[in-house]
Structure 1
Amino acid sequence: MIRNPNDIQEGAKKIRMLIAGYPGIGKSTLALSAPNPLHIDVDFGIDRIEPRYRKPYIQPQSYDEILGDLTPINLQDFDTLVFDTGGKLISLMSLWAIKKDPKYGQRDGSLSLKGYGFVGKEFVRLMDYCFYELQKNIVIVFHATEEKDGDNTRLRIKVEGQTKNNVWEPMDLGGFVEIYGNDRTIGFSNCERYFAKGTRGISGIRKIPALGPTSPNDFLTKLFAEYNAKATAEVEQNAVDQAAYEAAMVEGTAIIAGIVDADTANAAMPKYQAIKHALTSNKELGVLWNKKVKECGLFYDKVLKKYTPAPAAPGEEKGAE
């Protein structure tokens, strides 16, 4: 079914986010600042997080364990799933894929081309399952790696092969964490150094507040709230615009319906021009107006600035033979 984008009624929603950066820059702690998270510690790195910032966690040693743990009953007390790290998650997926079908692997234990394709699709399927069926926020952490591009150094997420394309695909937000002076920042806009992703007005470089002994670790909780506040504002504005559009269309079609000749067309013009348009009402009513004056055989005289009966074509004058 084809739908008008102004019909969107979705306000608050779950969010899928990717965080990337160098090891030791605080990606895991940042990821755990999301709302009510479960830490899926596939890197077994929870001991590197300060105790006061740790959250409930699992440490699956296989992809089958992850699938077994991610059930609605197990996750009913959590709002966010933090996969830490995505690279290790994909490694577990790769072993699982080769175990399912040897054609997905090569003799050295790495993935074949078919294997990369299969794992990429499984990654997207898992993200969709967590987002749509489990209805959880998703935060996935990746290490960053440097790639040389001529004289420039680029930052990229550390993941093998073509899988990185599948990783970015479902994300709503994606940012790289860096250090500038004494400040940690996260960038949500594409630049020469890295690819990133921003939506709903979340863009640019944002400073990550330093965490003190009594500081709440809530950066992503506040960011997600901002994201959803903008989503709610869009929905509310859509409702206002839709109501104004419908009022303009009712008013305009009634004015146009009253046109039967040049006099009524000229009398209708001030009322028609006073309509407060919204969305596509101006364009749509313009089509209806032009159609109506054409049906009535009217012509707009730019000198007189009013409608007159259209001049008869040569050979059509009254009494002509």
Structure 2
Amino acid sequence: MAIIKKNDVTPERPVIIVLYGTPGTGKTSVSTTAENPVLVDTDRGFDRAVQRVDTLVANNWQDITNETNTLKGYKTIVVDTAKAMLDDYLSAYAVQQDPKLAYNSLKRFGRMADDFKLFVNTIRNSGADLIFICHDKEEKDGDNTKHSPDCTGQSKDLLIRIADQVGYVCKENGKRVIKFEPQDCFVGKNVAKLDTKEVPDCTSEEFPTFMAGIVSDVKKAIQSNSEATKAANELLVSLRDDLDAALNPEDFDACLEARMKLPAVYRKAFAAEVNKKAKAKGLTYNKEENKYQAAA
């Protein structure tokens, strides 16, 4: 694979989304409104969805891997549920391949993680998006209740780590919503900085393409972040050229002022560069007048 330079705009890529919530919130129905989906059913719940889609009813890990080439023909792979895939099917498969792993949970999870990441990478390399569905797990956090995807600890950490978005499906003021921004009371992940999404009624015109719209928004946001990073790096190079050419207090004042054109995350570091080079030129910063001056 070629090296992606820091100023390159990264190409659009498949995304991974995790949706979790309590039973009856319509997680499966919502997920299958993605583009050209196939449902990998490991939880025996495909017939409860509002609409039927092509479905692989899997009883073990081999049922899934045997159909990998078939799955590549779809645009979205929906796994319902991630817990059954990871904690049941993959765990059993790891022990089947090496019975000694039944007595070594650390090594067993290492094998599970390797097989899971191979599956994910194979699907993504085919250009398909992945949506993992989880039930909701409530845990006490002091006096508060915290919601998170229902997987064992290591499986959950792996799932959240590879996901671009983690959404909590719940009811708010009588309406179903998906919340991505993490809060004290629930786990979330919001790489794309999406607002809370209200789930349309299943009889509405918006519902059949609802998840496809979210996936599209995530991809656009990631692409936009890449373009913004490229622009920021190019501006930083230009400002450093100006800083290298700075000779007098006015030049350094202009460089310090120009840092405000940069994204906030770059400003402090660039200000430190300006101060270091100004000091090397024998200048000091007058905080009262907010400008550089020759050292007394």
TM over 0.5: yes
Task: Select which of 76, 79, 82 maps to 1:83.
Answer: 79
Q: How is 1:169-180 mapped onto 2 (pairs within 5 angstroms)?
A: 169-180=161-172
How many angstroms does 1:103 deviate by?
1.8
Q: How is 1:7-86 mapped onto 2 (pairs within 5 angstroms)?
A: 7=7, 9-10=9-10, 12-50=12-50, 53-71=51-69, 74-86=70-82
Secondary structure of residue in 2 paired with 1:223: helix
d(CA) in 2 for partners of 1:40, 1:140: 10
d(CA) in 2 for partners of 1:249, 1:176: 43
In the alignment, what sits opposite 2:99?
102
1:16–1:173 Cα contact (<8 Å) kept: yes
Q: 1:60 to 1:202 in 2, by over 3 A?
A: same
Secondary structure of residue in 2 paired with 1:212: coil
Q: How is 1:1-321 mapped onto 2 (pairs within 5 angstroms)?
A: 7=7, 9-10=9-10, 12-50=12-50, 53-71=51-69, 74-90=70-86, 91-105=88-102, 112=105, 114-131=107-124, 133-148=125-140, 152-160=144-152, 162-202=154-194, 205-212=196-203, 214-256=205-247, 268-275=248-255, 276-277=258-259, 278=262, 279=266, 281-291=270-280, 293-294=281-282, 307=294
d(CA) in 1 for partners of 2:155, 2:243: 53
1:103–1:112 Cα contact (<8 Å) kept: no
How many angstroms does 1:215 deviate by?
4.0
d(CA) in 2 for partners of 1:8, 1:252: 24
Identity of aligned residues (%): 20
1:120–1:167 Cα contact (<8 Å) kept: no
Q: Which runs of 5+ in 2 are unaligned?
A: 287-291
2:136–2:148 Cα contact (<8 Å) kept: yes
How many angstroms does 1:195 deviate by?
1.8
Read off the aligned partner of 1:127 and give its amino acid letter: V
2:21–2:170 Cα contact (<8 Å) kept: yes
Q: 1:67 to 1:252 in 2, by over 3 A?
A: same
1:124–1:166 Cα contact (<8 Å) kept: no
d(CA) in 2 for partners of 1:254, 1:105: 66
How many angstroms does 1:16 deviate by?
1.1
Deviations 1:52-73 (A, max 9, x none): x3322222322112112123xx
How many angstroms does 1:247 deviate by?
2.8
After TM superposition, the score normalised by the length of structure 2 is: 0.78
How many angstroms does 1:39 deviate by?
1.5
How many angstroms does 1:6 deviate by?
6.0
Read off the aligned partner of 2:78 and give its amino acid letter: V
How many angstroms does 1:100 deviate by?
1.0
Read off the aligned partner of 2:245 and give its amino acid letter: A
Secondary structure of residue in 2 paired with 1:126: helix
2:176–2:198 Cα contact (<8 Å) kept: yes
d(CA) in 2 for partners of 1:32, 1:160: 25
1:103–1:114 Cα contact (<8 Å) kept: no
After TM superposition, the score normalised by the length of structure 1 is: 0.73
How many angstroms does 1:10 deviate by?
2.1
How many angstroms does 1:300 deviate by?
6.5
Secondary structure of residue in 2 paired with 1:159: coil
d(CA) in 1 for partners of 2:184, 2:271: 42
Deviations 1:98-149 (A, max 9, x none): 211222226xxxx855434432443344334433x33422110112233455
d(CA) in 1 for partners of 2:252, 2:126: 51
d(CA) in 2 for partners of 1:85, 1:35: 19
Q: 1:163 to 1:216 in 2, by over 3 A?
A: closer
Aligned pairs, number: 279
Secondary structure of residue in 2 paired with 1:168: helix
1:208–1:219 Cα contact (<8 Å) kept: yes
How many angstroms does 1:231 deviate by?
2.5
